[in-house]
A and B are shown apart, each in its own frame.
Chain A
């Protein structure tokens, strides 16, 4: 009896080692319930689509995707991350939507030498001195969209601009990014409560400030409310509203409808980008889920492609972390966003596009690429990253 137990104990680690090589486990922690669930659902659907199109595999290894809902609660996310790293022994953790959740779970994930791939929020902390070999972002550095907005507003020759964002870290990051590239005068810098519903007071102040343009950094439901109220106030004729892609994406278009037309946004991906990978992604996404993909979904899909390419490059030997890291970093795949590579801090270096919101041929409201605002842009903190 004791001998059997011993034999079992001896065999167990072997069994685990063998298992690690014949499949890949991905821990997917995302916001899948509550008012912001649409974002997490889109990232998940995009990622799952990439796995599905690769025949349920990533880089030739059968893929097991373990999905958990973080409820936009850092504590819940930490419990999930703990379980995935210790019990499920996942090889990658991804899926996370919000920066506060990323900051809560990334430390324990990277400490266990599990790769963290951020498919959405890329907190500025990890782009600079805190950069880490196990931390990748497959989306954008957190200030980049606002940098592109600042550059666009400067190019257009707008002299007086109002900036509006929620009063939290993401909003401050946006202000930093915007001011880095905006050369004119910031007529007013306004911060609102996170989750504010009504913007009548701010709209009245904006009307009084008489700016040429307005850059608004309001995610999810906040953006829906603001855009509806801005259009109803009649100011949209005199003031150009500029928003990040995710402040105007399909989730918001579905809620706002026609008032979205005529807005300008900035993003790292547009639904109409003309490359083979993107055409395939948009068509397959719509076929699978009966709706148009968002930038979130594109990012989730790209994360799937990134892992697929990296695992293929190391020929499925994902236990060799150094080789796997080099393979991820080489980003040897055709991204739906076109040109894409990682900087020294393992954050994307990519183009940012100007997009107009218009109706397409079949009458649906979509983004249309108008031009490239920033080319091969990384971030402002990469020089502080001393990692080799």
Chain B
């Protein structure tokens, strides 16, 4: 019984971690390569989810809608980079924070005007129910698909970064931007491409999470904080760090919420454990972040030496 519960909670942690990875990967690239703090990253995630919901309505196919949302959000991201964010690279981090925070407000109100405060987005009917993975464990089939998509994207990203020419430029930019420019890399174009990819990853996360989370205005802000925690843990600019950090956060958060209250009940009075358990579980990932920064101030896999 408890073995099954443990397996189920591990799957939950994996699924949550992989979706966080999609957001964190884009964030860490933008932060690491362009030295740009983009708070509006969560807004692209929101735009991706709203686009997916709209395209599901228009095309009737969930997967086609995900693909269209991905392309659409990448275009929105690149347009944003060319029109607004490009002017911020030379400014300090405070200006970037202020400007991209303003973008969050603009994006929220724009989405509200275009689509209204929320849209329904359901999983494809074939995936709506649970499947039995091992005897006695019913697990949401849609969450399994999320895990599969997350793993596939992580593998594709690894291949793109480690094996392709653009990936090489990205790595060069992340480890030493000045040197990359000096070696003749067209950094302007590279930035636009990276930003478009980051936006596309956001759209995948938004569209895939849409059927289990609310597709509503402001959905990006909640998850953005977690994405920042992930990239700080993983090391800014490192895709590998983002993957490890995201899985750590996903698993620790899930396990903490699931088992910490019960664990405390073994040692403490029931009322004390009842009050302490949920509070402790909800700060667990921040404790994790603080501990990692204590021993590894640059994060687990710093991109710069």
- A residues contacting B by CB (< 8 A) are 33-35, 37-38, 167, 189-193, 195-198, 200-202, 204-205, 207-208, 221, 224-225, 228-229, 231-234, 251, 254-259
Contact = CB atoms under 8 A, between A and B. Distances in A.
Given A197-B213, A201-B258, A224-B214, A234 B122 contact: no
B214 A229 contact: no
B47 interface: no
Contacts of A234: 129-130, 138, 140
Interface string B1-42: 100010011001001100000000000000000000000000
The 6 A-B pairs of least Cβ separation, nearest first, read A234-B130, A35-B218, A200-B12, A224-B214, A193-B282, A191-B278
A224 B216 contact: yes
Contact of A255 (B12, B216, B222, B261): B216
B297 interface: no
B82 to A, nearest CB: 29
Contacts of B128: 231-232
30 contacts: A33-B108, A34-B217, A35-B218, A167-B282, A191-B274, A191-B277, A192-B278, A193-B281, A200-B9, A201-B12, A201-B253, A201-B255, A204-B5, A204-B12, A204-B258, A207-B8, A208-B1, A221-B214, A221-B218, A225-B213, A228-B212, A228-B213, A229-B140, A232-B142, A233-B130, A234-B130, A251-B117, A255-B214, A255-B216, A259-B122
Given A35-B221, A202-B257, A254-B120, 4 more contacts: A200-B143, A202-B258, A208-B1, A255-B216
B8 A204 contact: yes
A198 B212 contact: yes
Interface in B174-227: 211-219, 221-223
Contacts of B254: 200-201
Contact of B218 (A34, A167, A205, A255): A34
A193 B212 contact: no
A255 B119 contact: yes
A225 B219 CA distance: 11
For chain B, what secondary structure do more than half of its interface residues adopt (helix, strand, loop), or is it mixed? helix
B118 interface: yes
A200 B251 CA distance: 12
B219 A204 contact: no
B258 A205 contact: yes
Q: Which of A255, A256, A258 is packed against the most chain B CB atoms within 10 Å?
A: A255
Nearest to B277: A191
B116 to A, nearest CB: 8
Given A167-B278, A221-B214, A37 B117 contact: yes
B172 interface: no
Contacts of B122: 257-259
A233 B138 contact: yes
A143 B217 CA distance: 29
B90 interface: no
A300 to B, nearest CB: 17
A205 B254 CA distance: 11
Nearest to B140: A232
Contact of B117 (A38, A201, A204, A228): A38
Interface in B215-262: 215-219, 221-223, 253-255, 257-258, 261
A232 B130 contact: yes
B99 interface: no
B118 A251 contact: yes
Candidate in A195, A204, A221, A255 with the most chain B CB atoms within 10 angstroms: A204
Contacts of B253: 201
B221, B222, B257: residue with the most chain A Cβ atoms closer than 10 Å = B257
A35 B217 contact: yes
B130 A254 contact: no
A129 B8 CA distance: 47
B243 to A, nearest CB: 19
Contacts of A37: 112, 117, 217
B129 A232 contact: yes
